[in-house]
Every structure is written in C-alpha cells, then in structure tokens.
C-alpha cells in the first residue's frame, strides 16, 4: 500500500470487490445453514464452543442456530459481501450470552485456522477478568494481521463494552443517517464508525423464519463486508492500515 495512487484505488475496490477469497469467522449463536436465504452462500467451519468444556475440542454445530441472532448477522454480511466465505463459531447460547473463556477459545481457533476477519456482533461489560481475557485474543489477532470487527452497545458508544472498545478493533454503532451499505466516521470516539441499522431491517431468523429487527448487531456486518470487499482486491492489508482506509472511504458525520 504505497503512494497516493494506491489510496485512490480503495473506493474503487469497494465497488469491484465481492469478498471472494476472504474468510470471516462469525462468533455468534450459530448459523442456520439450510435457511432459504443462504442457497448460494459459501460456508466453511461450523463449530460449537458453547457446550465444549475446557480442554475439549469444539463440537460440530450441525448447521443450527441456537437463538437466531447469528443467522441474521450472517445474512447482513453476505448482502454486503456476497462471495465471502463464512465460518460459524457458536459461542452464544439461547439467551445470546457467552462466557469470556468460550469466546477466547473460539477467537484463538479462528486465528489458528487462518481466518482473515473475526466478526463479533456482541459486547461484554468490562470486569477486569473480561477485559484481560478478551485482550489476550485481541492482541493475538492484531499480531497475526487478523481484522476484528465488533458492535458497540445498543445504548450508544459511551457504554464501554468489549471487544468494541479496544483501539485495534473496528467498532461500529448504528445510525439511520448513513447510506445503505456504507459507513460513517465519528472522530474522537473509540467507536469510530457507524452503519445503517437504526431502523428495522428484515432478516432471516431461526427455523427458516424472517424477522424485522434493529440494532448495532446488524450495523457491524456492514463494516465487515466492506473490509472483505477491500481484502478481495487488496489482500494482506494490516488492521492498522485498514482503519486508515475505512476513514478514507467513510461518509462524513452529519
């Protein structure tokens, strides 16, 4: 990534890229792979960490979503980057809650398996144990050149949650004032970006159903999709560089 001409390439890369060759680990409640919305989608790993005890290998998740949330997140991501390859890492249970250690193990497994992006449409409150547990895998991802995208709290960016409030993470809020499929930059905040999601969108849910829902969970995959589009044209971009690129292509705050 050298020179002004290369910087001019990135808005075009967003238009030309479709996520092909980019692997995204979705840490969530699972993905219902047989949902009609995913007929032409490319999936890879389907692992369940939520029921595996420490020291046990993750189990096959069986193409199931325990809650529905992960299915919806995956659909938004695939709308943003239709040729991306998704791995499902189930870390959340029926109440969309996951223990810190489960999340850490899943993230480290995704890094070890060579995923390019780790997507987290959730946030955990900042107890000292949570912060240090999350920091261990956030640092590992950064050193491996793996991009981490996370949703901020639905109460707004002032509510500190992890992993969104680590500075190396691409943190995303929701806003109805952003063009569909685009992001907006908010300078002066660790939650630096926002995407469309402040109004209800219709998304696939569990048991082959559909649901209208809103929130930061469904804004964050827009940013993940944009990163996947760029990586499909310009592979190997480091997380530090990617944040600079996202700032360049983002819409200004209104």
Quick check: 239 pLDDT over 50?
yes
Residue 52 sits in a domain of what CATH number?
Answer: 3.40.50.200
Mean pLDDT of 45-53: 88
Identify whether 254 is part of a domain: no
For the chain, how long is the longest CA-to-CA vector?
Answer: 51
With CA atoms as reference, report the closest residue to 21 among 236, 245, 237, 231. 231
Task: Using pLDDT thresholds of 50, 70 and 90, give the confidence band for residue 5.
Answer: very low
**What residue spans of the chain are helical by DSSP H?**
3-16, 69-80, 100-112, 128-144, 220-233, 239-249
Q: What is the pLDDT of residue 98?
A: 66
Q: What are phi and psi of 156, to 5 degrees?
A: 115, 165
| DSSP type of residue 61 | -
Identify whether 125 is part of a domain: yes
Rounded distance, CA 183 to CA 243, Å?
12
Identify whether 65 is part of a domain: yes
Identify whether 141 is part of a domain: yes
Q: What is the pLDDT of residue 200?
A: 83
Partnered with residue 204 across adjacent β-strands are 210
C-alpha dist (Å) from residue 22 to 32, 53, 146, 164: 21, 30, 11, 22
Q: Give the range with max mean pLDDT: 88-102, 166-180, 188-202.
A: 166-180
Identify whether 12 is part of a domain: yes
Quick check: 138 pLDDT over 50?
yes
Range of the structural domain that residue 209 is part of: 3-103+112-249
CB 26 within 8 A of CB 119: yes
Rg (CA), the chain: 17
Q: What is the mean pLDDT of the chain?
A: 92
Identify whether 152 is part of a domain: yes
- In the chain, the number of structural domains is 1
Sign of CA dihedral 197, 145, 10, 15: negative
Q: What is the pLDDT of residue 197?
A: 73
Task: Using pLDDT thresholds of 50, 70 and 90, give the confidence band for residue 190.
Answer: very high
Place of tokens 């999340």: 103
Quick check: 226 pLDDT over 70?
yes
Quick check: 4 pLDDT over 70?
no
Task: Using pLDDT thresholds of 50, 70 and 90, give the confidence band for residue 3.
Answer: very low
Predicted structure pTM score: 0.95
Q: What is the pLDDT of residue 193?
A: 97
């Amino acid at each position: 990534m050298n020179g002004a001409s290369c910087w001019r390439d990135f808005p075009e890369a967003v238009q030309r890229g479709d996520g092909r060759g980019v692997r995204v680990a979705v840490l969530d409640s699972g993905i219902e792979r047989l949902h009609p919305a995913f007929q032409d989608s490319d999936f890879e790993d389907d692992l369940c960490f939520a029921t595996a005890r420490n020291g046990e290998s993750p189990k096959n998740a069986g193409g199931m979503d325990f809650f529905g949330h992960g299915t919806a997140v995956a659909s938004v991501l695939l709308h943003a980057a239709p040729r991306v390859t998704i791995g499902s890492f189930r870390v959340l249970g029926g109440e969309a809650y996951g223990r810190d250690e489960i999340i850490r193990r899943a993230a480290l497994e995704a890094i070890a398996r060579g995923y390019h992006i780790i997507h987290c449409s959730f946030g955990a409150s900042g107890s000292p144990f949570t912060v240090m547990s999350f920091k261990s895998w956030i640092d590992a991802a950064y050193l491996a050149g793996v991009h981490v995208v996370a949703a901020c709290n639905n109460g707004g960016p002032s509510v500190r949650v992890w992993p969104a409030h680590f500075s190396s993470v691409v943190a995303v809020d929701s806003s109805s004032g952003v063009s569909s499929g685009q992001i907006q930059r908010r300078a002066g905040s660790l939650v630096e970006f926002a995407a469309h999601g402040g109004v209800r969108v219709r998304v696939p849910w569990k048991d082959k159903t559909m649901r209208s829902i809103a929130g930061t969970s469904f804004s964050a995959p827009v940013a993940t999709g944009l990163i996947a589009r760029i990586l499909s044209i310009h592979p190997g971009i480091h997380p530090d560089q990617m944040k600079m690129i996202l700032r360049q292509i983002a819409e200004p705050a209104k």
